[in-house]
């Protein structure tokens, strides 16, 4: 089989941003969520980490846990300061004699000062305690302004909201075979001018050394006007394809990875959105085809798209003249 000679006739690309030295790579190049499978080091963590980007991209549950933890820590800090200054300087307290009661009085006074609520029952007395309360009020204004901006930024940040099929299929197609995967929007946003770019990464032997080669996978349809339903992207494996003559074992041996980038125009935000993902060789299903994921509503008035079927497929027999 002339797989090696065929690869040499193909022109690989070197503008992907990834290196060709496979010996220094760790696992896949791109994670399923589109982030690079990369960790940076060599300079202090506070210099190589953007707090703003971290909080903006953090999972929603993690973000609210962070906000709650920050709020609690600030209150605990100032509660200790008030307690050490003397709870007797907090006029109007319940006069608790226990350590826990006094500390909680200081804690709740701190929360009222930090949020500038100020119920009026407890008030600071003396220059030192009033100065501490003033500093805490200023910190509270700044912290809540930043948190409000972050919440708005997270809420208003344009996103593509694309759902990719977890598997990529190699299916019989037009008396041959093709690489297929599926994508759909899972929110009520509308994307137009949707464009896909697919890159294949192959780990091959050259002069006794394993290197990574990148090839564009040309789609039969690389751009659509509107992503209203699901979009099954098809790369027909012809003689011009880097996967020509590839068998199931060849796919596993080269540990191929398919990197997908989708760009589209979001009508709601009037902005360009982008989302990326990748498929490793372990996600390839050889000899399968996708099942339909949308149907007509019972009344016939509208179309129903079942997003939980985006990866629904059935195994099929590859034609005898197609290598398997």
> What is d(CA 290, CA 310) in angstroms, rounded to the nearest whole number?
8
178-264-225 Cα angle (round to 5):
70
CATH code of the domain in which 173 resides: 2.60.40.1400
Would you mind telling me the total number of residues written for the chain in this entry? Answer: 324
Domain match, 173 and 265 both: yes
Domain match, 34 and 52 both: no
Cβ pair 172, 289 in contact under 8 A: yes
What would the pLDDT profile of 257-302 be if each residue is shown by its tens digit? 999 999 999 988 889 999 999 999 999 999 999 999 988 888 888 8
Q: What pLDDT is attached to residue 1?
A: 44
Domain match, 284 and 169 both: yes
Domain match, 190 and 54 both: no
Looking at the DSSP assignment, which residues form a beta bridge with residue 195?
223, 263
Cβ pair 143, 293 in contact under 8 A: no
Cβ pair 178, 234 in contact under 8 A: yes
Q: Would you write out the chain's pLDDT as a tens digit for each of its 324 residues?
A: 445 555 555 667 777 777 666 555 667 888 888 888 888 888 888 788 888 888 988 889 999 999 999 999 999 999 999 989 888 888 876 667 788 888 888 899 999 999 888 777 788 888 999 999 999 999 999 999 999 999 998 888 888 999 999 999 999 998 889 999 999 999 988 899 999 999 999 887 777 787 888 999 999 999 999 998 899 999 999 988 998 888 888 888 888 899 999 999 998 888 999 999 999 999 999 999 999 998 888 888 888 999 999 999 999 987 665 554
**How many domains are contained in the chain?**
2
Residue 323 lies in a domain: no
Residue 112 lies in a domain: yes
CATH code of the domain in which 100 resides: 1.10.287.70
Half-sphere exposure of 294 (CA within 13 A, CB side): 13
Nearest Cα to Cα of residue 201 among 37, 5, 3, 14 = 14
> What is d(CA 287, CA 281) in angstroms, rounded to the nearest whole number?
14
Domain boundary among 156, 179, 212: 156
Domain match, 172 and 256 both: yes
Residue 322 lies in a domain: no
> What is d(CA 224, CA 23) in angstroms, rounded to the nearest whole number?
38
What one-character DSSP code corresponds to residue 24?
G
Does an H or E element contain 203, and which? strand 191-206
> What is d(CA 245, CA 323) in angstroms, rounded to the nearest whole number?
7
What would the pLDDT profile of 140-166 be if each residue is shown by its tens digit? 999 999 999 999 988 888 889 999 999
Domain match, 93 and 174 both: no
Domain match, 124 and 139 both: yes
Q: Which domain holds residue 297?
A: 3-38+160-315
What one-character DSSP code corresponds to residue 261?
E
């Amino acid at each position: 089989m002339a797989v090696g000679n065929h690869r040499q006739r193909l022109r690989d690309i070197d503008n992907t941003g990834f290196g060709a030295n496979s010996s220094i790579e760790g696992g896949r190049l791109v994670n399923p969520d589109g982030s690079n499978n990369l960790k940076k080091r060599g300079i202090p963590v506070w210099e190589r980490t953007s707090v703003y980007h971290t909080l903006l991209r953090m999972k929603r549950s993690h973000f609210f846990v962070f906000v709650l933890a920050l709020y609690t820590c600030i209150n605990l800090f100032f509660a200790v300061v008030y307690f050490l200054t003397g709870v007797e300087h907090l006029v109007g307290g319940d006069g608790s004699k226990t350590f826990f009661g006094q500390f909680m009085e200081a804690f709740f006074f701190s929360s009222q000062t930090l949020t500038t609520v100020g119920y009026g029952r407890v008030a600071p007395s003396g220059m030192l305690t009033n100065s501490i309360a003033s500093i805490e009020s200023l910190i509270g204004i700044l912290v809540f302004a930043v948190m409000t901006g972050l919440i708005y930024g997270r809420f208003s940040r344009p996103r593509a909201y694309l759902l990719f099929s977890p598997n990529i299929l190699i299916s019989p197609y037009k008396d041959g075979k093709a690489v297929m995967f599926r994508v759909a929007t899972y929110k009520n946003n509308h994307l137009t001018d949707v464009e896909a770019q697919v890159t294949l990464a192959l780990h091959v032997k050259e002069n006794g050394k394993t290197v990574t080669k990148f090839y564009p996978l040309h789609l039969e349809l690389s751009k659509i006007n509107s992503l209203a339903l699901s979009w099954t992207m098809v790369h027909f494996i012809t003689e011009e394809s880097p996967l020509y003559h590839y068998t199931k074992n060849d796919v596993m041996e080269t540990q191929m990875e398919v990197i997908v980038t989708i760009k589209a125009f979001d009508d709601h935000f009037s902005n360009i959105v982008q989302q990326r993902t990748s498929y490793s060789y372990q996600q390839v299903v050889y000899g399968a085809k996708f099942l339909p994921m949308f149907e007509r509503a019972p009344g016939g008035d509208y179309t129903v798209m079942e997003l939980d079927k985006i990866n629904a497929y059935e195994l099929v027999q590859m034609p005898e003249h197609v290598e398997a």
